[in-house]
Amino acid sequence: MLLIKAVDYRILELCKEYNLSINGLANKAGMPPSTVASLLSEKSRNPTEDTIFKICIGFGMRMDKFYASNLFDLKNISLENTSQKIYKV
């Protein structure tokens, strides 16, 4: 799975868990709803850590909890535009 897809799925997973709409998340994160929507619609293919941090603020969680998901299992993540997978060293 591409890393950006894992981020997308995680945001949607957390929206469901926290019972938040995309607009609700954006408001809590202090971001325009269009920013979150473009991230999820694949218009934004490379979200910055600042964006992920703001999304975490919206969920009221630390970044380590955001990434603490099987979606980010290093053996299953591949980088965009490459077939290489990321492995632990």
Give the CATH number for residue 22.
1.10.260.40
What pLDDT sits at residue 11? 96
In a domain, 83, yes or no: no
- Whether 77 and 6 have beta carbons less than 8 Å apart is answered as yes
Structure confidence at residue 85 as a pLDDT band (50, 70, 90): low
Q: Which residue has the tokens 């980010």?
A: 72
H/E element, 23: helix 22-29
Residues listed for the chain: 89
Mean pLDDT value across the chain: 87
Sign of CA dihedral 77, 79, 85, 87: negative
In a domain, 88, yes or no: no
Token reading at 62: 């630390």
In a domain, 32, yes or no: yes
In a domain, 47, yes or no: yes
Domain span at residue 60 reads: 3-72
In a domain, 60, yes or no: yes
**What are 13-54's pLDDT values in tens digits?**
999 999 999 999 999 999 999 989 988 886 767 788 999 999
Phi/psi of residue 72, nearest 5 degrees: -100, 20
How far is it, in rounded angstroms, from Cα 32 to Cα 37? Answer: 9
How many domains are contained in the chain?
A: 1
